[in-house]
Amino acid sequence: MIEHVRSIKDFDVRYKVVLVRVDFNLPMVGGKVTDTSRLVRVIPTLKYLIANNAKIILLSHYGNPKGKFILGMSLSPVVDELSKALGGKDIKFAVDILESSTKDKIDKLLPGEIMLVENIRFHAGEEENDIEFAKKIARLGDIYVNESFSCSHRNHASIVSLPKLLPSAKGLLLAEELENLNKHLQNPVKKVMAITGGAKVSSKIALLKALIEKADHLVIGGAMANTFLKAKGYKVGRSLYEEDYTQTALTILKESEQKQCKIILPSDVITAKTLENDASYEVKSSSQVSDDDMILDVGPRFLADIIYGLDEVKTVIWNGPLGAFELKPFDIGTITISRAIAESTLSGKLTSIAGGGDVVSAINSSGLSHNFTYISTGGGAFLKWLEGKTLPGIQALMDSARTCPVT
Catalytic residues: 38, 200, 357, 380
Strand partners, 354: 318, 375
Distances (CA, A) of 123 to 19, 94, 120, 129, 369: 17, 14, 6, 10, 35
What whole-number distance in Å separates Cα of residue 43 and Cα of residue 35?
A: 15
Strand partners, 264: 219
240 near ligand ADP, rule: CB under 6 A? yes
First to last CA, the chain: 22
392 near ligand ADP, rule: CB under 6 A? no
Kindly state the smallest distance separating residue 362's Cβ from ligand ADP, in Å: 8
Q: For residues 116 and 324, which CB has a smaller minimum distance to ligand ADP in the complex?
A: 324
Site mask, ligand ADP, residues 181-220, x = CB under 6 A? ----------------xxx---------------------
141 binds, among ligand ADP, Mg ion, none (CB under 5 to 8 A by kind): none
Kindly state the smallest distance separating residue 187's Cβ from ligand ADP, in Å: 24
Among 59, 82, 223, 279, binds ligand ADP (CB under 6 A): 223
299 near ligand ADP, rule: CB under 6 A? no
DSSP annotation of 374: E
Q: For residues 113 and 358, which CB has a smaller minimum distance to Mg ion in the complex?
A: 358
CB 102 within 8 A of CB 96: yes
Among 359, 363, 375, 396, binds ligand ADP (CB under 6 A): 359
Among 158, 319, 351, 352, binds ligand ADP (CB under 6 A): 319
266 binds, among Mg ion, ligand ADP, none (CB under 5 to 8 A by kind): none
3-state secondary structure of 57: strand
Q: For residues 152 and 161, which CB has a smaller minimum distance to ligand ADP in the complex?
A: 152
Kindly state the smallest distance separating residue 334's Cβ from ligand ADP, in Å: 8
Distances (CA, A) of 114 to 105, 238, 266: 11, 51, 50
Among 195, 201, 296, 375, binds ligand ADP (CB under 6 A): 296
CB 264 within 8 A of CB 207: no
Write out the binding residues for Mg ion, residues 198-257 only, by CB under 5 A. none
324 near ligand ADP, rule: CB under 6 A? yes
Q: For residues 75 and 296, which CB has a smaller minimum distance to ligand ADP in the complex?
A: 296
357 near Mg ion, rule: CB under 5 A? yes
266 near ligand ADP, rule: CB under 6 A? no
222 near ligand ADP, rule: CB under 6 A? yes
CB 97 within 8 A of CB 126: no
Kindly state the smallest distance separating residue 383's Cβ from ligand ADP, in Å: 7
379 near ligand ADP, rule: CB under 6 A? yes
Q: Contact region for ligand ADP (CB under 6 A) — 106-114, 163-171, 243-251, 356-364?
A: 356-364
DSSP class per residue in 266-319: -SEEEEESS-STT--EEEEEGGG--TT-EEEEE-HHHHHHHHHHHTT-SEEEEE
Residue 80 one-letter amino acid: D
CB 407 within 8 A of CB 16: yes
Strand partners, 272: 281, 294
Contacts of residue 347, Cβ cutoff 8 Å, sequence gap at least 6: none
Q: What's the chain's length in residues?
A: 407
Q: Using CB under 6 A, list all residues that contact ligand ADP.
A: 197-199, 222-223, 240, 295-296, 319-321, 323-326, 356-359, 379
